[in-house]
Amino acid sequence: MPNVPSYPQLPPISLSRQLSGLSNPAFHIEDDPTSARSSASSRLSVHPAVNVEDVDSVGGGHRRHIRQILTPQDPNLKTLTVPRVSKASRQSKVADKEKNLHSQSEDDDEEETETAVRAWPSQSSILSGDDGLKERPASSASQASYVVNERLQELVKMFKERTERAKEKLIDPDDSDDDSPTPEEEAQPASPEREMEEQQPQSRLCCKVTPPRWIRALLQYRFPSSIDPFTNLVYVLWLFFVTLAWNWNVWLIPMRWAFPYQTPSNIYLWLLADYLCDLIYILDIMVFQPRLQFVRGGDIVFDKKDMRKNYMKTFRFKMDVISLVPLELFYFKTGINPLLRFPRLLKVMSFFEFNDRLEAILTKAYVYRVIRTTSYLLYCLHCNACLFYWISAYEGLGSTKWVYDGKGNSYIRCYYFAVKTLITIGGLPEPTTLFEIIFQLINYFVGVFAFSIMIGQMRDVVGAATSGQTYYRACMDNTVKYMASYRIPKDVQNRVKTWYNYTWQSQGMLDEQELLVQLPDKMRLDIAVDVNYDIVSKVSLFQGCDRQMIFDMLKSLRSVVYLPGDYVCKKGEVGREMYIIKAGEVQVVGGPDGKTVFVTLKSGSVFGEISLLAVGGGNRRTANVVAHGFANLFILDKKDLNEILVHYPESQKLLRKKLYKTISKQENAHPEAALLVAGDFNAGKLKSI
């Protein structure tokens, strides 16, 4: 049968001691083979034949299979026909069975009686139940029929279980047949190893600790095959560690050489830190630098072999290799002298690269420039302090009034002397020997040049940081000077000053176009989309227009700030611009006194659009628009919009259609205070504010 699992071979069916195979006198064995054959041909046409294998007969040291055909009997007969077995095989079987019966225990006898298939006296007694079957011994034919029934029952049971699993799978698709155990797995007892494996995940789940996000990100990070040195933050972080290793050598090599801080008790800690810095140098040369992308002929090169060759051709590679020259091998001859690590200072190019990359990602880079310039000054003082202590130790501590006397903290005392010398404060002891005089003169000259350079660089850093504010102050001062020379009224001057202050505080610049004019057209478009697209896309007038048309329009918008009470446009003016409110509110005023508020427009509103879309002239404003508080507006010139709409005729038709509907709606609602008052639309004689 298809889709029916295979079963292992059943154990041999044990026979009782009655060789006739009958357990009831009602049954009759037909020993005559001829009569059996003659009756078989007539009965086979009505009932199917059953093949039964005799698994009990053994001959020649191996199991012999004898196929016998059980012919179905006449339903009117009450006798059971059993295939005939030869006397020799029957006698050998009986002998074997008798030996097994005498040698087995009582428990084995019970198992044998349970597995034996028993016959029943009549056909009606089949339905009498299992108790009757257990009480009667069985013939070989009845045993075969019972085995077939058992097999069928097992198959039916398995098909039912399989159907139930299929139903469960349809109800809950997440469960799969692979997860459900098979009957063989359910029947097998759980081994101790399996129980321990099942208990371990439970214990792990109970004690599960979720690591922090940065640890999970670090574990999931995969080192890239190529690195962009300008945008990769991981590379900037690595340069920070390289800079730390370089600063360790720059600051501590002269200090360990001059001051007696390196002693035999702590020499191993110094060496550990030194070799850790060397390891960082090696990783930078072997791992990071050969993976840096570069530009060749306008193309960015990603190939590993080309990147490695490009790095090996640079001057930086030569300096990096020289910085790792193992002069520490002379330790075995001269002892541990920190000056032998002097080549480590040649990796200075990594320090300058780190400065450039860090300034590129900082929003206020001038703060870091000030800190870096200050560190230059402190390092000059550090080197001078080391030299002063070395000279004092060379001449003898406390040998003269000029040298260090050996009291107090040696580094702090010498650093104080270096500050007074380089800054030329005065109050220093007079040098007595020629060597002291020469050293003091060199200190004075170096101090003058070093401090002049530092002061000039600090001025440049501070000036670059405040260049925008300086420009704003210069513009406002020139405007105020101009208004004073022409005796402009004070209220107007105050409003101009207020405009300068508010514009600088809100935008950080006076004109955005001056800042973006140097950028390429594509970059200006990207910046304009990120800054202004959300506001312009919400304007109902432009909804449904070509997206590229809106992008082109964004590049032509100008941002203007209006103070409270300023007139954005006045009645009677010729309209040449359209306004989009970016922030703040404006009010449409009119009436006999000119102060009646008709409409208040908020962020995202548009007014003055008829002056842009009208064909003819005579487009004059019909109402006053006043800023209610500080208002930031986008202004779109008519000339710029016409140049854009030439390339988008469908959008132009859509805008005119929306404009006509807006005119009709506003005429019915507010005929006097309408922002857009209709005229002869077809002739192009439209009025607007």
Q: Is the pLDDT of residue 268 over 90?
A: yes
Any idea of the CA torsion for 92, 93, 99, 105, to the nearest 10 degrees? 170
Core vs surface per residue 318-349: b (16+ CB within 10 A) or e: eebeebeeeeeeeeeeeebbbebbbbbebbee
- How many C-beta neighbours within 10 Å does residue 392 have? 24
pLDDT: which is higher, 541 or 154? 154
pLDDT of residue 181: 46
The percent of the chain in helix, strand and coil, each rounded to the nearest 5, is 55, 10, 35
- How many C-beta neighbours within 10 Å does residue 413 have? 17
User: What's at 204, amino acid-wise?
Assistant: R
Arithmetic mean of pLDDT, 638-648: 85
The runs of H, that is alpha helices, within 572-689 are 610-613, 638-645, 649-669
What band does 111 get if pLDDT is binned at 50, 70 and 90? very low
CA gap 336, 338 in Å, rounded:
6
pLDDT of residue 92: 53
DSSP label at residue 123: S
pLDDT of residue 668: 64
Core vs surface per residue 615-635: b (16+ CB within 10 A) or e: eeeebbbbbbbbbbebbbbbb
Return the biggest CA–CA distance within the chain.
Answer: 148
Contact status, residue 106 vs residue 77, Cβ threshold 8 Å: no
pLDDT, one tens digit per residue, over 214-231 is: 788 777 878 888 999 988
Contact status, residue 238 vs residue 284, Cβ threshold 8 Å: yes
Q: H or E stretch including 301?
A: strand 299-301
φ/ψ of 11, rounded to 5, equals: -70, 155
pLDDT: which is higher, 419 or 207? 419
CA gap 331, 340 in Å, rounded:
8
pLDDT, one tens digit per residue, over 507-525 is: 777 777 676 777 787 888 8
pLDDT of residue 443: 87
Residue 112 neighbours by CB under 8 Å, 6+ apart: 14, 104
Core vs surface per residue 236-271: b (16+ CB within 10 A) or e: bebbeebbebbebbbbbbbbbbbbeebeeeeeeebe
User: Could you give the 3-state DSSP secondary structure of residue 586?
Assistant: strand
CA gap 613, 616 in Å, rounded:
9
- Find tokens 């005939």 and name the residue: 84
- How many C-beta neighbours within 10 Å does residue 598 have? 16
Contact status, residue 608 vs residue 675, Cβ threshold 8 Å: yes
pLDDT: which is higher, 300 or 138? 300
Worst-scoring range by mean pLDDT, 135-144, 238-247, 369-378, 668-677? 668-677
pLDDT of residue 171: 65
The runs of H, that is alpha helices, within 259-327 are 267-283, 304-313, 315-323
User: Could you give the 3-state DSSP secondary structure of residue 165?
Assistant: helix
DSSP label at residue 113: H
Nearest in space to 637 (alpha carbons), one of 566, 557, 583, 521: 557
Q: How many residues does the chain have?
A: 689
pLDDT of residue 613: 64
Q: What whole-number percentage of the chain has pLDDT above 70?
A: 68
CA gap 611, 619 in Å, rounded:
6
Residue 83 CA to its chain's centroid (Å): 78
Contact status, residue 40 vs residue 70, Cβ threshold 8 Å: no
CA gap 306, 458 in Å, rounded:
41
CA gap 283, 245 in Å, rounded:
12
φ/ψ of 47, rounded to 5, equals: -115, 145
CA gap 81, 31 in Å, rounded:
9
The runs of H, that is alpha helices, within 226-295 are 233-258, 267-283
Arithmetic mean of pLDDT, 108-128: 43
The residues with which 583 forms a beta bridge, in sequence order, are 632
Q: Is the pLDDT of residue 672 over 90?
A: no
pLDDT of residue 406: 87
pLDDT: which is higher, 283 or 110? 283
The token duo for 515 is: 């800042």
Contact status, residue 610 vs residue 676, Cβ threshold 8 Å: yes
Transcribe 201-224 into DSSP letters. HHHHHHT--PPPHHHHHHHH----
Arithmetic mean of pLDDT, 64-93: 47
Give 651-658's long-range contacts (Cβ < 8 A, gap of 24+).
Answer: 651/545, 651/546, 651/549, 652/613, 654/544, 654/545, 655/541, 655/542, 655/545, 655/609, 655/613, 656/613, 658/540, 658/541
Q: Is the pLDDT of residue 379 over 90?
A: yes
What band does 176 get if pLDDT is binned at 50, 70 and 90? very low
pLDDT of residue 170: 67
> How far is CA 468 from each of CA 273, 314, 471, rounded to the nearest angstrom?
45, 38, 5
> How far is CA 238 from each of CA 232, 245, 511, 683, rounded to the nearest angstrom?
10, 11, 39, 70
Worst-scoring range by mean pLDDT, 26-40, 254-268, 288-302, 449-463? 26-40
pLDDT: which is higher, 292 or 643? 292
pLDDT of residue 185: 44
What band does 667 get if pLDDT is binned at 50, 70 and 90? low
Q: Is the pLDDT of residue 28 over 50?
A: no
Stated pTM of the model? 0.57
Identify which of 74-88, 112-126, 137-151, 305-319 has the greatest average pLDDT: 305-319
pLDDT: which is higher, 64 or 340? 340
